[in-house]
Structure 1
Amino acid sequence: MSHFEHDELDSFFAEMQDVKPIISDDKAQLHDPEAALAEKQKRASLQASIRDKLKNPLSMEGVKPVPLDDFIQFQQPGIQDGVFKKLRLGKYPLEVVISMAGKTLDESRNLLYQNVISGHEKGVRALLIKHGTGENSKPFPALKKSYVNHWLRELEEVIAFHTAQPMHGGFGATYVLLKKHPQQKLINREKNRKG
């Protein structure tokens, strides 16, 4: 061994003096297809729930119970009183009717969200939500009505809502007025062409 090689070796050992070998009692981790699949499914399920939240932003928390025979109403600032009165009296043509009868709370939530969003995109101005009175609903009476009251306030497409007139379901239904779609003139032209 030449002097040069000896120096190189000494310097190598000097560099490596504080390096400790890895001691592992475990056998080498072999690929476990079942564990990998379970992990992949867990990630997919988590992503799906995140996507669902993004797809439907309506919250299930912080809902205040509404008495069975209370009117629920909301009017965004700037909505003319005449427009709100027309809605309250049921004078707008109800282009979409959403029935929550026999639906779970989660199904009702999705139904409401999808109909409001697609209705707005199609230029629908007024719709009716039939949530029922919920006299015997649990954990409290008027459960769906209370959630509808909460959810409608969360949607920017909704500019006003009011408990329906008796002819449209009274305390068991709610009129909803949607914001005009930015492309409303174009949508109206399409509707007129089809009709």
Structure 2
Amino acid sequence: MTSKDERLAFLEEMKDVRRIRKANRAETTTPKELTPGHLERQRAAVDMPVRDNNPLTSSMVEPLTARDVLSWQRPGVQHGVFKKLRLGHYAIEARLDLHRMTVEEARREVFSFINDCVRYGLRSVIILHGKGERNPDGIAQIKSHLAKWLPELDSVLAFHSAQKHHGGTGAVYVMVRKGDRDKQRNREIHGGH
């Protein structure tokens, strides 16, 4: 078959085919009319407040200054363990920097960070909160809130202001509780029940 014969055969096969006049695209314009269902969903979304699962509170915070030392431990944390934390002897596995954040942004970040630490099995972390020295009133806002927030989180076992080389009173070492997966792994390794 020559190319001329092929072309004629092709045209013969295609003789009944008609061109599509409408563009071959999906309709992406939104309908102008709002349906009753749409209006109801919109009303429900406005009426229903967004549920905040973050337990950290922002009220009644004791004001702290640049030089104040943060120090807290949950009952049951061994003295030697707390001392090692205080002296910065544990390797820092993660850090969170709260500089230049609002109190609300810091509240969300701290809650999320501590949850991530538990999820990924990180036990010794540092949070950089700043000293608040530039604040006209001398109050370290983020530091003051952090001192209240950390004990509110069950996953936090202890915390202490960092050593000078890690930021001093502008940072805090945090000891995080083991997650369930890590506890189970320890039981398997050490034969506990």
Return the TM-score normalized by structure 1: 0.70
- Report what 2:63 is aligned to: 65
Unpaired stretches in structure 2, ≥5 consecutive residues: 1-34, 187-193
Per-residue deviation, 1:82:
0.5
**1:101 touches 1:130 (CA, 8 Å); kept in 2?**
yes
CA distance in 2, matches of 1:83, 1:163: 15
The aligned counterpart of 1:106 is 104
With 112-121 and 178-187 compared, the bigger mean Cα shift is at 178-187
**Alignment partners' CA distance in 2, 1:57 and 1:149:** 14
Answer whether contact 1:65 1:140 (CA < 8 A) is retained: no
Q: Distance in 2 between matches of 1:32 and 1:182?
A: 47
Count of aligned positions: 152
- Say which of 113, 116, 120 aligns to 1:115: 113
Q: Sequence identity of aligned pairs in percent?
A: 37
Corresponding residue for residue 6 of structure 1: none
Q: CA distance change for structure 1 residues 121 and 138 in 2, over 3 Å: closer, same or farther?
A: farther
Deviations 1:27-46 (A, max 9, x none): xxxx99998576334214x1
Q: Which runs of 5+ in 1 are unaligned?
A: 1-30, 189-195
Which residue of the other structure, out of 42, 46, 52, is the alignment partner of 2:46? 42
Letter in 2 for 1:137: N
The match for 2:78 is 80
CA distance in 2, matches of 1:119, 1:165: 21
The AA in structure 2 aligned to 1:80 is: Q
Could you tell me how far apart the structure 2 residues matched to 1:115 and 1:179 are? Answer: 13
Q: CA deviation at 1:104?
A: 1.3
1:155-181: CA deviation from partner (whole Å, max 9, x where unpaired): 010010000001100010000001122
Whether the 8 Å contact between 2:56 and 2:111 is mirrored in structure 1 is: yes
Q: Which residue of 2 aligns with 1:170?
A: 168
Is the CA contact (8 Å cut-off) linking 1:123 and 1:187 kept in structure 2?
A: no
Determine if contact 1:92/1:126 at 8 Å carries over to the other structure.
Answer: yes
Task: Give the 3 Å change call, closer, same or farther, for CA 95–36 of structure 1 in structure 2.
Answer: same
How far does the alpha carbon of each residue in 1:85-124 deviate from its partner, in whole angstroms, 9 at most, with x for none?
A: 0000111111110001121111111111101011112111
What is the alpha-carbon distance in structure 2 between the residues aligned to residue 108 and residue 64 of structure 1?
17
State the TM-score, normalizing by the size of structure 2: 0.71
Distance 2:136 2:45 in 1: 33
Cα RMSD over matched residues? 2.4
Higher share in helix = 1
Structure 1: distance between partners of 2:135 and 2:44:
39
